Amino acid sequence: MPLSWKWKVLIGLGILAIIATLLLIIKYQHDLITKQKEIESSLVEMKKLPDNITRAQSQYVTKKDLEDYSKKFDVNLKPIKEDLSTLGAEVKGISSVKVITVGYKGNQLPSNNSIPRVDPPKEKKSVNLDPWGYQKSTQVLKLTEPFVDKTVPWGEVRFNAWQKEPWGLDVHKRTYSIINVLGQDEDGRHYVYNKFSVEADGKKYDVGITDSKFVEEYPENKLRFDISLYLGANFGAYFNIVSFELMPDLELSLLSYGTTRVNPDWIFLNFGIGYETNNDNLSFTFSPLNYNFGKNISPLMSNSYIGPVISIDTKANVAALLGVRVGL
């Protein structure tokens, strides 16, 4: 007894599901191996460039490593992740910059300059040459660096009035640190979060940032060699026999066109293998181009494509179809 078309559809979809599952398992294992190799070989050393420009040391890390780095840099990722979620984005990287001033200590330093004292004319009388007692003790002035929301110790100046070279100066060793957290959304747009701190006199001070800007070149559409896997459903009719066909298939796309590799606007040169549910036969499919109609409807459908398909089966039957496919 011949199978009904419903059973043929179910059998065809079942076969494609098994093939797709096996391919995804193989791809997953391959991606794990490739990812580990890329992480191990991805280190790019820091490099000094002309005009005081520095290329940052960079490398790939795992998600857990990224969390560990945020703790090392004393950055709380929770509010950043919450803010990125409102933009449909997620954390992609952390960058750190440190600038260290080595500090300085000096005693019995001469004055760089002097300004003569000018007093108004007075009647002659006995003059106390040290009315404030400066000859009896060292005068100390603490110096701080003011920021918008706090002050940070800078050092101190000492003055000994009884010495020929009366000045003493201490400048604290300081470490200026800038931490940048990079986020990216599904469209490839980036978001940058900054944290600035100063470490001085053995204590760390988190300082508010007055202004923060990040400019990014707008991505342009580009044709890319991009092999991707798609699961499709095609509907149409044969040229040489009077019959309509519903044909699920599994396809490989070779080219894409769009601003990014993620969910491009167009995909080209899709080659696949399908199952003819009406004729109960295997067929080879070719789709020259497909348009991403889903990204204009919903983010959940942003990898859904539609396009024309030509198929030829093992009995040389040729069909013209219209297909819908989704990325795997």
Q: pLDDT averaged over consecutive 10-residue blocks of the chain (328 residues)?
A: 60 70 71 60 67 73 81 85 86 82 75 67 68 84 84 89 88 88 79 88 85 73 86 85 83 86 85 85 88 79 86 85 86
Nearby residues of 177 by Cβ (< 8 Å), 6 or more positions away: 73, 96, 97, 98, 196, 197, 198, 199
Q: What is the pLDDT of residue 65?
A: 81
Q: What is the pLDDT of residue 185?
A: 79
Q: What is the pLDDT of residue 126?
A: 64
Nearby residues of 14 by Cβ (< 8 Å), 6 or more positions away: none
**Strand pairing category for 266-276 and 244-258:** antiparallel
Instruction: Locate 113 and state its tokens.
Output: 């300059």
Q: What is the pLDDT of residue 76?
A: 87
In the chain the beta strands, taken as DSSP E runs, fall at 47-49, 53-55, 89-101, 104-109, 139-146, 151-159, 167-171, 174-185, 190-200, 203-207, 222-238, 244-258, 266-276, 281-292, 304-313, 318-327
Model confidence over 110-149: pLDDT tens digits?
Answer: 777 766 666 666 666 666 778 878 888 888 998 888 887 7
Q: Give residue 108's region: left, alpha or beta (phi > 0; psi -120 to 50).
A: left
Q: What is the pLDDT of residue 231?
A: 87
Sign of CA dihedral 326, 81, 63, 193: positive
Global pTM?
Answer: 0.58
Model confidence over 247-286: pLDDT tens digits?
Answer: 888 888 888 988 777 788 888 989 988 888 888 888 888 9
